[in-house]
């Protein structure tokens, strides 16, 4: 019985860990996307300030080029995070399925034990009743 409870607790812990991982990835992904959006705005502001929007123009601002590079790196990282998020969600689904399976097995075995104990109690009561009848 203790090993069953340990298995259920282990599966529950694994599900919790997967949930935390999914949550962490989602937070990082939204942070990367927010930062990329901020960089887009900074690039646009710099282009408007200088009056040059053509990246190949000799007077194009260096800050805007560097911001574009950082933005592109953030977007590439966000793409990688989306792939990690998909894998983490799959792992979470698998972990939850294993947890539910272990929980169902535990519930079935507990019900079997309850049924067995009730049957034993009834059997013991029947034997006691027979003993009492014989004495009367």
How far apart, in Å, are the Cα atoms of 99 and each of 10, 20, 111?
Answer: 8, 16, 18
Which residues, in sequence order, are CB contacts of 67 under 8 Å at separation 6+?
39, 42, 43, 46
What are the residue ranges of helices labelled H in 51-61?
A: none
Question: How far separated are the first and last CA of the chain, in Å rounded?
Answer: 42
pTM of the model as a whole: 0.73
pLDDT in tens, 51-106: 998 888 888 999 999 999 999 999 999 999 999 999 999 999 999 999 999 889 88
pLDDT in tens, 9-59: 899 999 999 999 999 999 999 999 999 999 999 999 999 999 998 888 888
């Amino acid at each position: 019985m203790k090993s069953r409870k340990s298995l259920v607790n282990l599966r529950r812990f694994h599900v919790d860990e997967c949930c935390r991982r999914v949550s962490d990835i989602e937070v990082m992904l939204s942070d990367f996307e927010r930062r990329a959006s901020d960089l887009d705005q900074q690039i646009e502001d710099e282009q408007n300030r200088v009056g040059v929007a053509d990246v190949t123009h000799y007077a194009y601002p260096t800050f805007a080029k560097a911001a574009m590079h950082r933005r592109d790196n953030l977007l590439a990282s966000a793409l990688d995070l989306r792939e990690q998020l998909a894998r983490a969600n799959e792992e979470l689904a698998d972990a939850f399925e294993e947890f539910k399976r272990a929980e169902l097995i535990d519930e079935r075995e507990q019900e079997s034990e309850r049924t067995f104990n009730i049957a034993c109690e009834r059997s013991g009561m029947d034997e006691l009743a027979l003993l009492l009848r014989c004495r009367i």
